[in-house]
Amino acid sequence: MRQWFWDFHGVGCYGQRASVQGGQAGRKRRMGCVLAKGSRVVAGLRRTIMAAAAAVVLTSLVGGVATAAPASPAPSGSSTAPTPSTPGSSDSLIGAEPKSVGPGDRIDILQRSLGGGRFEALQCTVGFAVISPSGERLGVTAGHCGAPEQPVGVSHWIVGEVVQSKAPAVKPDPKRPGQFTPVDPFGPDWATFRITDNTVKLLGAKGPITPRSVGVAHVGDKVCQLGSVNGYRCGAVVKVQGNWILTDIKTTPGDSGGPLVRTSDGAALGIITDAVTLSDATTGKVTGNATQYYALPAVLAAAGGDRLATN
């Protein structure tokens, strides 16, 4: 069973830096914020080439289902109006302005405005920093996290936007109302984003992730990944098929887009896209968990010839 990790999500308040006028950067904060936690509804099919997409279900901390809608470009499921609530102060909900973001850090990709300063967002993870042929510095994450032009948030501040995004097309599953299956389970799954706030630096290396080059994965490679939820986890590559990599590392919702690096040479190999549950074909008994990644060389080529940034 393959599970798409478009991911922890919520309804949140985001601050946005106003335009610079008269030499001073004004700030405006989105008001009427209601934070929420949610859980994904996942429909799984048997392993190898079949998978199911997920519908995002948001539940407000003050009670009631906010909405059910998968990340664009997947079609949305049914929705329920939010339960009315008393907004909190945005000043108490927005943290300090971020100074940098890099591999393994959390990003929230805002799906849509719910009005009153509230946004529906999907939590994902920064994979790598890259440099486009024009010299622009971009971040890489999973394609199912968001669509082009959707805002990117860090620490509840809007700091950028999605530039390019490719995710497997999905179709409604007639056997599972409100859930989806991919048309091509091995379709591309990657996105790039830019930082539009010039006070925030996009780092090429952070913490244990210090990529030195772009590499190609091989079965048996010792590797480590960094997710914004599950942290730093290590294991080995167990399968490579086309542009897809499978390891024996267990991952967590919210880790999508996170980096995979080979430990022997620091080569950047791919980005986290899915959790895979392995099961016995006869009995259906779960035999293990794995993580699937989209290969970084394929991302760089499809993005138009981007190259890895290592600092």
* pLDDT by position in tens, the chain (length 311): 444 443 334 444 445 443 322 333 333 333 223 333 222 222 222 222 122 222 222 221 121 222 223 333 333 332 222 222 233 334 445 668 899 999 999 999 998 888 777 778 899 999 999 999 999 999 999 999 999 999 999 988 899 999 999 998 878 878 767 766 678 878 899 999 999 999 999 999 999 999 999 999 999 999 999 999 999 999 999 999 999 999 999 988 899 999 999 999 999 999 999 888 787 878 878 888 899 999 999 999 999 999 999 98
Length of the chain: 311
**Confidence at residue 89, expressed as pLDDT on a 0 to 100 scale:** 38
Q: Pick one of 2.60.40.1120, 3.40.50.720, 2.40.10.10, 3.20.20.140 as the CATH number of 213-298.
A: 2.40.10.10
**Confidence at residue 241, expressed as pLDDT on a 0 to 100 scale:** 94
Secondary structure element (H or E) that encloses residue 259, with its range = strand 259-262
Q: Which residues contact 268 (CB under 8 A, 6 or more apart)?
A: 128, 211, 213, 214, 215, 259, 260, 261, 296, 308
**Confidence at residue 296, expressed as pLDDT on a 0 to 100 scale:** 98
Q: What is the pTM of this model?
A: 0.74
First to last CA, the chain: 37
**Confidence at residue 240, expressed as pLDDT on a 0 to 100 scale:** 96
Neighbours of 98 (CB within 10 A): 18
- DSSP assigned state of 183: S
**Confidence at residue 306, expressed as pLDDT on a 0 to 100 scale:** 97
CA proximity to 8, closest of 143, 109, 131: 109
- Alpha-carbon distance of 276 to 292, in angstroms, equals 7
- Alpha-carbon distance of 235 to 211, in angstroms, equals 17
Instruction: Tell me the domain boundaries of the chain.
Output: 213-298
**Confidence at residue 155, expressed as pLDDT on a 0 to 100 scale:** 87
**Confidence at residue 299, expressed as pLDDT on a 0 to 100 scale:** 98
The dihedral formed by the CA atoms of 157, 160, 166 and 167, expressed in degrees to the nearest 10: 0
